[in-house]
Amino acid sequence: MPVPILKQGDCLIASIQSALTDADLLELRDELSERVGRYRSKGVIIDVTVLDVLDSFASRTLRTMAEMIRLRGAETVIVGIQPEVAFSMVQLGLSLDGVTTVLDLEEGLAHLDRSRRARVAHAGG
Amino acid sequence: MAATRQRVHADDLADSIGLGSEELAMRKRFLEFDDDDVQRLEGMYGLTHEHVDAVIEAFYEHLLSFPETTSFFRDPRLLEHVKGRQKNYFIRLTQGDYDHDYVTDRLRLGSIHERIGLPVRSFLGMYAFYLRQIAALLVQEHPGDPEHAFQKFHSLTKLLFFDIGLGVDMYIHQRERTIAVQQDAIRELSTPVLTIRDRLLVLPIIGILDTSRAQQLTEELLRSIRESRAQVVILDVTGVPAVDSAVANHLLQTVEASRLMGAQVIVTGLSASVAQALVTLGVDLTKLNAVGDLQGGIEVANGIMRYQVVAIDDTIPEVVDAGPDPEAG
């Protein structure tokens, strides 16, 4: 099942609705990096609230996804990792180094908002 | 669970500590306690019945000559009561039918002794005293036939060792139950997650961290992060006396898992010795945001959360909405 990607201002929100196969994940990766360019987005939020497992392939793909999006000029925030998922990830030694993770969608939007303001202030100064 | 087990009906005492009929049969086989022994013991009924009063009197005289055991029998009424019980116990040794009821009775005896705090060495000493007394009686009863006397003594030894096994099991069982209850209590007390301000949690850790506790702590913390939408968590380890590499890794896992949930962790109160141990162990602590003490941790958290604590200056008149001025009307 493809992941719906919503556009909200200069952000893209990928809201995962059900467990994903490896192929779904790769499709999401390509789709997101393509749309970042098309919409000139500055931020991407990937909402993983519904996932009750994040295996090594998924965490690696999320890492590469964030890196690809960064190279395309946007920032990635992963939101909604559940306590059990977080715990099993660290136990398995899976990391999301270099990727911003925040509690939920609201926090994610707030984070991108802060980044935007920092960018504006920087450009203004 | 422990509390309900305590209230188990006495008949189930043997079952409740895992002494099924199979286990009991195995114990008897191990002691080579067989029907011949039962017969010989039953043959001694007359002897025990005849001498019970003298033996028990001598027994308590012996007990009361030691200050350690005297303290358990200060109350004369209690003393009479336990004497009666000991007489029953003594005669019961030669009444046959060493099955379920017998075992239950022995277990209850062990449990009473444990409860009053009688040391195991006194408990064992009591059995040794019985053996000595009965040996003397048997030699007396079979003058010139030591072999016969010895056989009977042998059967009695087996039965008494069977009893001792049950009594000691009961001691151990009770102690283990106490330990389990205390461990539960410690576990419940040991991992409070405190909200000291909106979205700021403090986790004071006190005592030894082992693997199961560290895991429980992490789960508890992650749940709290989600519930209170925490932004910053202060993990205060002032009360942790020692940290080994396993615990250090647990701390790092907790920090990383919290980061995945979007919360920053500040570790405070690493003592000099703990810090030295961590460095010596070579654990990679670059991801650990460590601050000297809890106060410092809260200050850093204030910085992250953009709070500022300002002392109230009494020289500046407070702006209080006093309502309509009473003198105005």
CATH code at B13? 1.10.490.10
Cβ–Cβ < 8 Å for B328, B222: no
Q: Is residue B232 part of a domain?
A: yes
Question: Is residue B294, in this structure, part of any structural domain at all?
Answer: yes
Q: Provide the chain B residues 232-271 that lie in CB contact (below 8 A) with chain A.
A: 253-254, 256-263
Domains of chain A in sequence order: 5-124 (3.30.750.24)
* The two structure tokens encoding residue B151: 């056989």
| Chain B closest-CA separation from residue A18 CA (Å) | 19
Burial B244-276 (b: 16+ CB within 10 A, else e): eeebbbbbbbbbbbbbbbbbbbbbbbbeeebee
List the single best residue of A78, A90, A117 to mutate versus B (max B Cβ within 10 A): A90
Q: How many domains does chain B fold into?
A: 2
A89, closest residue in chain B (CA to CA): B257
Counting one residue from A and one from B, how many pairs have CB atoms under 8 Å apart? 51
B178, part of any domain = yes
CA distance A97 to chain B (A): 9
Both B286 and B198 in one domain: the answer is: yes
Look at residues B230, B218, B223, B290 and name the one whose alpha carbon lies nearest to residue B254: B218
- DSSP 8-state code for residue B97: -
ipTM for the whole complex: 0.74
Domain that holds residue B39: 9-188
DSSP B41-96: HHHTHHHHHHHHHHHHHHHHHHHTTSHHHHGGG-SHHHHHHHHHHHHHHHHHTTS-
pLDDT of residue A108: 94
Place of tokens 């190279």: A71
Q: In what order do the strands lie in the sheet with B290-291?
A: B194-197, B200-206, B232-239, B264-268, B290-291
Residue B6 is predicted with a pLDDT of 45
| Last-in-domain residue among B188, B213, B238 | B188
pLDDT band for position A65 (cuts 50, 70, 90): very high
Residues B159 and B245 both lie in one domain: no
Query: Are A87 and B226 inside 8 Å of each other by CB?
Result: no
B201 φ, ψ (degrees, to nearest 5):
-110, 150
Q: Does A83 touch chain B (CB under 8 A)?
A: yes
Mean pLDDT rounded to a whole number for chain A? 91
- Residues B226, A86: C-beta atoms closer than 8 Å: no
Contacts of A95 in chain B (CB under 8 A): 256
Angstrom distance (rounded) from CA B284 to CA B287: 8
- Residue in A87, A101, A103 nearest the CB of B229: A103
| Cβ contacts of A27 within 8 Å, gap of 6 or more | A2, A3
What one-letter code names the amino acid at A80?
G
Instruction: Say which residue, A104 or B208, is predicted with more confidence.
Output: A104
Task: Say if residues B263 and B232 touch (Cβ distance below 8 Å).
Answer: yes
* Pair B96, B242 in one domain: no
Same domain (yes/no): B161, B265: no
CB A32 within 8 A of CB A14: yes
Q: Are residues B148 and B292 in the same domain?
A: no
- Same-domain status, B26 and B173: yes
Residues B180 and B40 in one domain: yes
Among B148, B169, B188, the domain boundary falls at B188
B260, A107: Cβ pair inside 8 Å? no
B1 falls within a domain: no
Query: What's the CA angle centered on A19, arms A17 and A20, to 5 degrees?
Result: 100
Is residue B36 situated within a structural domain? yes
Q: Find out whether B123 and B113 touch, Cβ atoms under 8 Å.
A: yes
Residues B28 and B160 both lie in one domain: yes
Quick check: B260 and A79 CB within 8 A?
A: no
Statement: residue A2 has pLDDT above 90: no
In a domain, B149, yes or no: yes
* CB proximity A82 to B under 8 Å: yes
CB B245 within 8 A of CB B214: no
Co-location of B169 and B239 in the same domain: no
- Residues of chain B contacting A102 with CB distance shorter than 8 Å: 262
Q: Which residue in B has a C-alpha nearest to residue A111's C-alpha?
A: B262
Return the pLDDT at B122: 84
Looking at the domain assignment, is residue B329 inside a domain?
no
Say yes or no: B127 and B223 in one domain: no
Q: How many residues does chain B have?
A: 329
Distance CA B2, CA A104 (A): 41
8 Å CB contact of A85 and B260: yes
Residue B147 structure tokens: 């072999």
**Is B117 a member of any domain?**
yes
Mention every residue, 6+ apart, whose C-beta is less than 8 A from residue B52: B87, B90, B91
Beta carbons within 10 angstroms of residue B201's beta carbon: 24
Q: Sort out which chain A residues have CB atoms less than 8 A from B230's CB and list them.
A: 103
Instruction: Per-residue pLDDT tens, chain B, 329 aa: give them.
Output: 444 444 445 556 777 777 888 888 888 889 888 888 888 888 888 888 888 888 888 888 888 888 877 877 778 888 888 888 888 888 888 888 888 888 888 888 888 888 888 888 888 888 888 888 888 888 888 888 888 888 888 888 998 998 898 888 888 888 888 888 888 777 766 678 899 999 999 999 888 777 778 888 888 899 999 999 999 999 998 888 887 778 888 888 889 899 999 999 999 988 888 888 788 877 777 878 889 899 999 999 999 999 988 888 888 776 666 556 555 54
Same domain, B157 and B220: no
Helices (H), chain B: 2-6, 13-16, 21-30, 35-43, 45-63, 67-70, 76-92, 100-115, 120-141, 146-190, 211-228, 245-260, 272-281, 294-305
Q: CATH number for the domain including B231?
A: 3.30.750.24
- Please indicate, yes or no, whether residues B143 and B74 belong to a single structural domain of this protein: yes
Burial level of B160, CB count in 10 A (0-12/13-18/19+)? middle
